[in-house]
Structure 1
Amino acid sequence: MILRLLLVLSVCARPGTGLPPRHMATVVQIVEALESAWPGDPGAVPELARALGGCSTPGCRAVLGEPPRAPPAPRTLSRQQWLLLTRLLGRGAAAPQHGAVLAPDGSTVTLGPLFAGIEVGLRRVLGSPLPTTKPPMDALYAVTITEALGTSFLLARGGDGNRATLGPGGCWDDVDDPQNYTLLGPPSPLPGAIANGAMDGVLLGAQLAQAPVPLADLLRGYYGTGNGTGKGRPPSSYRRRDFGVLTAPGKLEEEVAAMLEVLRVLPPTQELLKDVGPEEVVAIARRAARDFTGVYVECPAIVPRCMWGARPYRGTPKLLSLPLSSIYIHHTSTPSAPCRTFAACARAMRAMQRFHQDTRGWDDIGYSFVVGSDGYLYQGRGWHWVGAHTKGYNSKGYGVGYVGDFSATSPDPDAIALVRDEFLACAVRTGRLQPNYTLRGHRQMGDTDCPGDALFHEIETWHGFEVDIPMDAIMDWPWSMWTPVQQMPILVDTGPEEPQP
Structure 2
Amino acid sequence: MLPTRVRCLVLLLSLCTPPATGHLPRHMDTLVQIVEALEATNATEDLAGGAPELGRALGGGGTPLLRAVLGVPPGVPPGVPPALDPEQRALLAELLHPEAPERGVVLAPDGSTVAVAPLLAGLEVGLKRAATPAPATAATPAPVDPLYAVTLAEALGTSYLLARANGSRATLGPDGCWDDVEDPQVFTLAGPPSPVPDAVANGAMDGVLLGARLAEEPAPLAVLLRSYYYAGAAGERAPSSFRRGRFGARTAPEKLEEEVAAALRLLRVLPATRSLLEDVGDEEVAAVARRAARDFMDAYVECPAVVPRCMWGARPYRGTPSALKPPLPFVYIHHTYEPGAPCRTFAACAGAMRAMQRFHQDARGWDDIGYSFVVGSDGYLYEGRGWRWVGAHTRGYNRRGYGVGYVGDYTASPPDAHALALVRDAFLPCAVRAGRLRPDYALRGHRQMGRTECPGDSLFREIETWRGFQASGAASSAPVHSET
Give TM-score scaled by structure 1 length. Answer: 0.89
The answer to whether the aligner puts 1:204 opposite 2:189 as a matched pair is: no
In 2, Cα distance between equivalents of 1:318 and 1:206: 48
How far 1:347 moved relative to its partner? Answer: 0.4
Q: Secondary structure at the match of 1:209?
A: helix
Q: Secondary structure at the match of 1:437?
A: strand
How far 1:12 moved relative to its partner? Answer: 12
Q: Which runs of 5+ in 1 are unaligned?
A: 479-493
Q: Residue 188 of structure 2 aligns to which amino acid in structure 1?
A: T
Q: Secondary structure at the match of 1:382?
A: coil
The answer to whether the aligner puts 1:113 opposite 2:115 as a matched pair is: no
The answer to whether the aligner puts 1:498 opposite 2:483 as a matched pair is: yes
Q: Residue 160 of structure 2 aligns to which amino acid in structure 1?
A: F
Which of 108, 120, 125 is equivalent to 1:103? Answer: 108
Which of 208, 216, 221 is equivalent to 2:222? Answer: 216
Which of 362, 381, 385 is equivalent to 2:385? Answer: 381
- Name the residue aligned to 2:463: 459
- Name the residue aligned to 1:155: 162
Which of 134, 140, 144 is equivalent to 2:141? Answer: 134
In 2, Cα distance between equivalents of 1:477 and 1:44: 67
In 1, Cα distance between equivalents of 2:179 and 2:313: 10
Cα distance, 1:438–1:272 mapped onto 2, change above 3 Å: farther
How far 1:53 moved relative to its partner? Answer: 3.0
Q: State whether residues 9 and 276 of structure 2, in contact with CA within 8 Å, keep that contact through their aligned partners in structure 1.
A: no
How far 1:84 moved relative to its partner? Answer: 2.5
Q: State whether residues 49 and 125 of structure 2, in contact with CA within 8 Å, keep that contact through their aligned partners in structure 1.
A: no
- Name the residue aligned to 1:335: 339
Q: State whether residues 450 and 480 of structure 2, in contact with CA within 8 Å, keep that contact through their aligned partners in structure 1.
A: no
The answer to whether the aligner puts 1:253 opposite 2:257 as a matched pair is: yes
Q: Secondary structure at the match of 2:396?
A: coil
Which of 55, 58, 69 is equivalent to 1:52? Answer: 58
In 2, Cα distance between equivalents of 1:282 and 1:64: 24
In 2, Cα distance between equivalents of 1:13 and 1:461: 57
Q: Residue 117 of structure 2 aligns to which amino acid in structure 1?
A: G
Q: State whether residues 54 and 111 of structure 1, in contact with CA within 8 Å, keep that contact through their aligned partners in structure 2.
A: no
Runs of at least 4 residues off by over 6 Å? 1-6, 11-14
Q: Which runs of 5+ in 2 are unaligned?
A: 1-6
Q: State whether residues 137 and 144 of structure 2, in contact with CA within 8 Å, keep that contact through their aligned partners in structure 1.
A: no
- Name the residue aligned to 1:491: none
Q: Residue 341 of structure 1 aligns to which amino acid in structure 2?
A: T
What do residues 278-323 of structure 1 show as CA deviations (whole Å, max 9, x unaligned)?
1121111100000000000000000001100111111111111111
In 1, Cα distance between equivalents of 2:416 and 2:85: 43
In 1, Cα distance between equivalents of 2:404 and 2:349: 15
How far 1:469 moved relative to its partner? Answer: 1.1
In 1, Cα distance between equivalents of 2:451 and 2:82: 66
- Name the residue aligned to 1:167: 173
RMSD: 2.3
- Name the residue aligned to 2:4: none
How far 1:70 moved relative to its partner? Answer: 3.4
- Name the residue aligned to 1:62: 68
Q: Secondary structure at the match of 1:231?
A: coil
Q: Residue 324 of structure 1 aligns to which amino acid in structure 2?
A: L
In 2, Cα distance between equivalents of 1:289 and 1:413: 28
Q: Secondary structure at the match of 2:24?
A: coil
Cα distance, 1:64–1:43 mapped onto 2, change above 3 Å: closer
Cα distance, 1:70–1:229 mapped onto 2, change above 3 Å: farther
Which of 125, 143, 146 is equivalent to 2:150? Answer: 143
Q: Name which of structure 1's ranges 216-225 and 305-314 shifts more when overlaid on structure 2.
A: 216-225
Cα distance, 1:229–1:198 mapped onto 2, change above 3 Å: farther
Q: Residue 360 of structure 1 aligns to which amino acid in structure 2?
A: R
How far 1:85 moved relative to its partner? Answer: 2.2
Q: Residue 84 of structure 2 aligns to which amino acid in structure 1?
A: L
Which of 416, 420, 425 is equivalent to 2:424? Answer: 420
Q: Name which of structure 1's ranges 428-437 and 259-268 shifts more when overlaid on structure 2.
A: 259-268
Q: State whether residues 46 and 118 of structure 1, in contact with CA within 8 Å, keep that contact through their aligned partners in structure 2.
A: yes
Q: State whether residues 152 and 201 of structure 2, in contact with CA within 8 Å, keep that contact through their aligned partners in structure 1.
A: yes
Q: Residue 97 of structure 1 aligns to which amino acid in structure 2?
A: E
- Name the residue aligned to 2:358: 354
Q: Residue 407 of structure 2 aligns to which amino acid in structure 1?
A: V
- The 5-angstrom pairing of residues 308-327 of structure 1 reads 308-327=312-331
Q: State whether residues 123 and 129 of structure 1, in contact with CA within 8 Å, keep that contact through their aligned partners in structure 2.
A: no
How far 1:269 moved relative to its partner? Answer: 2.9
In 1, Cα distance between equivalents of 2:198 and 2:234: 23
Q: State whether residues 118 and 204 of structure 2, in contact with CA within 8 Å, keep that contact through their aligned partners in structure 1.
A: yes
- Name the residue aligned to 1:477: 477
In 2, Cα distance between equivalents of 1:387 and 1:82: 47
Q: State whether residues 101 and 111 of structure 1, in contact with CA within 8 Å, keep that contact through their aligned partners in structure 2.
A: yes
Q: State whether residues 19 and 90 of structure 2, in contact with CA within 8 Å, keep that contact through their aligned partners in structure 1.
A: no
In 1, Cα distance between equivalents of 2:430 and 2:184: 31
Q: State whether residues 5 and 96 of structure 1, in contact with CA within 8 Å, keep that contact through their aligned partners in structure 2.
A: no
How far 1:363 moved relative to its partner? Answer: 1.0
Q: State whether residues 175 and 307 of structure 1, in contact with CA within 8 Å, keep that contact through their aligned partners in structure 2.
A: yes
Q: Residue 179 of structure 1 aligns to which amino acid in structure 2?
A: Q
Q: State whether residues 331 and 402 of structure 1, in contact with CA within 8 Å, keep that contact through their aligned partners in structure 2.
A: yes
- The 5-angstrom pairing of residues 396-415 of structure 1 reads 396-415=400-419
The answer to whether the aligner puts 1:189 opposite 2:174 as a matched pair is: no
The answer to whether the aligner puts 1:123 opposite 2:100 as a matched pair is: no
Which of 29, 36, 43 is equivalent to 1:32? Answer: 36
How far 1:231 moved relative to its partner? Answer: 2.4
In 1, Cα distance between equivalents of 2:19 and 2:277: 36
